Amino acid sequence: MPQTILIVEDDEDIAEGLQYNLRREGFRTLIAESGEKGLRLALDERATPSLILLDLMLPGMSGMELCRRLRRESLTKDTPVIMLTAKAAEGDRVSGLETGADDYIVKPFSIKEVVARVRAVLRRSEKDVVPVYSDEKLKVDFADMRVVCSGTDVKLTRKEFALLTHLINNAGRVAPRQQLLDNVWGYSYFGDTRTLDVHIRRLRQKLGDCGSCVETVVGIGYRFVGFK
């Protein structure tokens, strides 16, 4: 399946030029003319982009603000972002990278350079992904969203799997309740925090013999300990 590149760019000529050339290279593309539309497309679970090309000077929500919001959402916190901007000053580049961008390309740019940067960032992000967690009782395949406990498949909802993934990625460290809510439900979630406790309880129940891999740290949050 081709990887999807989301192009968030309000200049129609630039957006169409990027789309044409990325499709020629075998990528699937989506275009958003504003930060608000870019956020909606990025958070669409049916077609989550593999990488986002993000213009900084957008109408409404700026590229910087969009990048900050993407980094707060569990679905897009690890999605590679390449910023596109006419601002070439070192301070602007540093600000973009500190906001959470993976790379920074100054306009006007060569299409060949953009394609090369896209491929390089995608390669880096693929290397950073640990495809499988495995210990003597529990196995989690992150790509296939498959969980096996003591040889038996465990069926989890998307939220339960996201919780388990976040806990495993922070194994041995306490994950505060607010951090889990921000990363799994998104920073805009303002519901009852007991929702988290309910999901953890269901996760443990479904894991059965492996339920004890998730410890409660009273008054703070939860911690993944696994099985040695």
Q: In whole angstroms, what is the distance from residue 100 CA to residue 90 CA?
A: 16
Q: What pLDDT does 188 receive?
A: 47
**Residue 174 has what DSSP assignment?**
-
Alpha helices in the chain (DSSP H): 12-24, 35-42, 63-72, 90-99, 111-128, 158-169, 177-180, 194-207
pTM: 0.57
At 58-98, the pLDDT tens digits run 988 999 999 999 988 888 888 899 999 876 555 656 666 67
Cis preceding-peptide flag for 49 (omega within 30 of 0): no
- Segment 4-28 shows an average pLDDT of 95
Percent of the chain's residues with pLDDT above 70:
88
222: pLDDT confidence band, cut at 50, 70 and 90? very high
Backbone angles phi, psi at 101, to 5 degrees: -70, 150
Q: What pLDDT does 129 receive?
A: 55
CB 42 within 8 A of CB 48: yes
Q: Which residue has the higher pLDDT, 153 or 124?
A: 153
Q: What pLDDT does 184 receive?
A: 79
Q: In whole angstroms, what is the distance from residue 203 CA to residue 175 CA?
A: 16
Q: Which domains occur in the chain, in start order? A: 4-128 (3.40.50.2300), 132-224 (1.10.10.10)
In this model, does residue 187 exceed pLDDT 60?
Answer: no
Percent of the chain's residues with pLDDT above 90:
49
